[in-house]
Structure 1
């Protein structure tokens, strides 16, 4: 049930402590023998030799210290693990009677996996004297369950992200930073499809995150699959700033890294990437290199994807710009601020009609139905 067992950790820690003690005792005896020999001579060459022997013995002293610290880490981990095991013992007896209890067991198992990861990182740091890189990107967590990754970020994320998670308990934090957030709705570990939504201008401002959260939740509910809100880049703060493609160029590698992490976690999962407004430019930059893990791309209210034809994006492309969306003036069938208008016939995408304004797509049931068909691979 749990990734670790407290009894096994305690057994390893006890053995490690015993070995460290024996090594320390042997080392002490050796030093005393050398000190006794040193008193029997006044020859400077021999005395220098004894000093060298002590220097050569110093790594053994460091190893003993590392072993004791590692054992202490294992003992502390075992103490916490015993608490989780106690909960499991109680819940397993009643799990068949309640779905809620079964979910709680799964949650405890994810905490155990997180504990395993953090224990391993601590021991690695103790034994190599190298401070591990901070856990920042989804891929840094390997195959750790999303629920455990969420718990890690609840402790370490900036206050505004923790407050957002408290206000939206169905949200799971996958990545967190100052002005950046990647969160999911639905179970990315078990879903057959994951839709990643890349937002646009102003999306790095936490004051507007509730709106983006609601949109991602709407897509998740409409498609019946897991949906990721990807605010993992420093988006342009204003429309004039969005004329530049610099932010999209910088964000492309981060989006590629995130989608690659999803692919690594579940290679058989269908992956749809949706770019909204300037987010579609980010998606275009990421996809045009051929290194974006995506089975389909959806460009919504797009000022351009940085290419002249959909075939340059490496996946089937669907595009929509509402008839009441002024961003339609940003591009033409030949060129535009960020390339050809994705809804132009010459671009080669599958185009959807919509009466939406720039912010109204999430209330357009026909649009949401079209997205659902793409997500389901129809």
Structure 2
């Protein structure tokens, strides 16, 4: 069940170390023979030749050092892997009738996948002399399973995100940073659909993250598929600050990149992007590109999507603003703070009726049913 085998890694590491040793010894003998020749003459031309020979030999020295470091990395990985293998061997003999032990085995498999990924990344850097770039975006992890990505972030994320994970054990962290969080409910790798939920004003403040997580969790439960809470941008911290569209413009490329990463992992998965409040402005900016990977866009309590008509977005548009939601005053069919009101007739979206307040959509069963219909559409 593990991605690697410690015995195989040890065999490769031993072979590398052996070859590196042979090359190093041959190189040492060669340099010694050149030094002996050098003592036989004082002719500047020959001395210059010996200097050139030493220079030409430097790549061999570098290759030996690379092989030694690669061998050491493989030995270290194999050493850690042996511990995982011992746990797996112990648990597999007892897991037949235990859900808890089965869950632990899956957790160890996630660790093994992450170990494989990190080892390959380190080996690539050693062998190409490249600098390791930080792992920040979902796309940085390639096809590594989401469960393994979550394990990486549990070690490297800011403390407030790790604490959030402890109180929300059903979520998986996909991206993390100061004031930034992208987390999923359900398996984004196997689910037939994923709904990406983008929140609005104040959503970069960790104090309110549990509220947004609960909303994403509600979407997952209502649609019987995976959902993602995308707080991958610096949201305006107040309503006055939200008058500016700068945050939405800055966030658009990051949201586009995230959707592209989802698409690369599972091209046949249905993808719906839901923007709430100022988050709908972010979604509108992102969906203005033809390269935006979304099969549908849902604008909830929107002050505007930055466009005048739904045809300017790259996916079918659904819009809802509750009768009791004061954000409905932010725009008209002719324009507003962030473009035309998406629920106006001239905008061209499919409009859902609602009596919701601005924060009440996730308690509205009719709204959730409409979302489920869009997500589950074939």
Structure 1 CA distance, aligned partners of 2:100 and 2:5? Answer: 24
Tell me the equivalent position of 1:377: 377
**Aligned mates of 1:35, 1:348 — CA distance in 2:** 83
Counterpart-to-counterpart distance in 2, 1:188 and 1:94? 30
- Asked if structure 2 preserves the Cα contact closer than 8 Å seen for 1:149 and 1:173, the reply is yes
**Residue matched to 1:195:** 195
Task: Note the 1:6-155 alignment, pairs <5 A.
Answer: 6-155=6-155
SS at match of 2:335: coil
Given that residues 310 and 317 in structure 1 are in contact (C-alpha distance below 8 angstroms), is that contact kept between their aligned partners in structure 2? yes
Residue 323 of structure 1 pairs with residue 323 of structure 2: yes
Does the 8 A contact of 1:38 with 1:47 survive in 2? yes
Greater Cα offset, 204-213 or 84-93 = 84-93
Q: After the TM superposition, which of the residue ranges 212-221 and 230-239 deviates more from structure 2? A: 212-221
Choose 255-264 or 51-60, whichever is displaced more: 51-60
Task: State the Cα distance separating 1:292 from its structure 2 match.
Answer: 1.2
Gaps of 5+ in 1: none
- TM-score, normalised relative to structure 2: 0.97
Task: Name the SS for the 2:259 alignment partner.
Answer: helix
- Asked whether the equivalents of residues 110 and 144 of structure 1 are also in contact (C-alpha less than 8 Å), the reply is no
Distance (Å, rounded) in 1 between the aligned partners of 2:271 and 2:224: 14
Q: Which residue of 1 is the match for residue 252 of structure 2?
A: 252
5+ long unaligned stretches in structure 2: none
Q: CA deviation at 1:10?
A: 0.5
Aligned to 1:214: 214
Distance 2:264 2:98 in 1: 33
Count of matched residue pairs: 378
Q: Which residue is equivalent to 2:226?
A: 226
Residue of structure 2 in register with 1:265 after alignment: 265
Comparing 307-316 with 200-209, greater Cα deviation is found at: 307-316
Distance 1:95 1:317 in 2: 47
The alpha carbon displacement at 1:163 in A equals 1.1
Check conservation: 2:288, 2:314, Cα contact below 8 A. Answer: yes
* Deviation at residue 201 of structure 1 after TM alignment: 0.7
Q: Which residue of 1 aligns with 2:334?
A: 334
Superposed displacement of residue 345, structure 1: 1.1
Query: 1:49, CA displacement in angstroms?
Result: 1.3
The root-mean-square deviation of aligned C-alpha atoms, in Å, is: 1.3
Please list the CA deviations of residues 4-35 of structure 1 after superposition, one character each: whole Å capped at 9, or x if unmatched.
11111101000000000000110011011111
CA apart distance, 1:135: 0.6
Moved >4 Å (runs of 4+): none
Residues 110, 151 of structure 2: 8 Å contact kept: no
Answer with 320-329 or 359-368: which moved more.
359-368
Determine if the alignment matches structure 1 residue 280 to structure 2 residue 261.
no
Give, in angstroms, the shift of residue 207 of structure 1. 1.3
For 1:195 and 1:98, the matched residues in 2 are separated by 32
Q: Which residue of 1 aligns with 2:294?
A: 294
Aligned counterparts of 1:108 and 1:271: Cα–Cα separation in 2: 30
* TM-score (normalised: structure 1): 0.97
Cα displacement (A) at 1:127: 2.2
Q: 1:108 offset after TM fit, Å?
A: 1.8
Q: 1:176-202 CA distances to partner (integer Å, 9 max, x unpaired)? A: 011110000111111111110000011
The separation in 2 between residues aligned to 1:63 and 1:10, in whole angstroms, is 20
Shift of 1:92: 2.8
Give 1:351 shift: 1.0
